[in-house]
Amino acid sequence: MRMSSRKVQYLAEKIIEQLSDKLKAKWPEGEQTAVQAIVAAIREDLEIEEEIDREAEKYIDENLRRIERENMDLYVLRKKIREELARKRGVVL
């Protein structure tokens, strides 16, 4: 999934805002440090998802003739490949 840096920053700020307002969470290192930690975590997750997408596309490209010959649905196949790759890595998409 592609997400702009601006959107990632916005989501991180909203998460901190909600945790602060609703759960009265405190940030010993400051809110901005917490926001940056969340931004880093989101970016890491997005990188993992992009890597999974690349691996799925590589598999499809390498097996395209067979996929076409057997009339497999590319959308369903891509989804299943992504799910399997994520499962093997212990990632939830």
pTM of the model: 0.80
Neighbours of 35 (CB within 10 A): 19
* Count of the separate structural domains present in the chain: 1
Q: What is the pLDDT of residue 2?
A: 80
Q: Which residues contact 29 (CB under 8 A, 6 or more apart)?
A: none
**Alpha carbon distance 89, 77 (integer Å):** 19
Please, what is the end-to-end C-alpha distance for the chain in angstroms? 10
**Whether pLDDT at 1 is above 80:** no
pLDDT in tens, 19-70: 999 999 999 999 999 999 999 999 999 999 999 999 999 999 999 999 999 9
pLDDT at 93: 86
Q: How many residues does the chain have?
A: 93
**Domain residues for 77?**
5-89
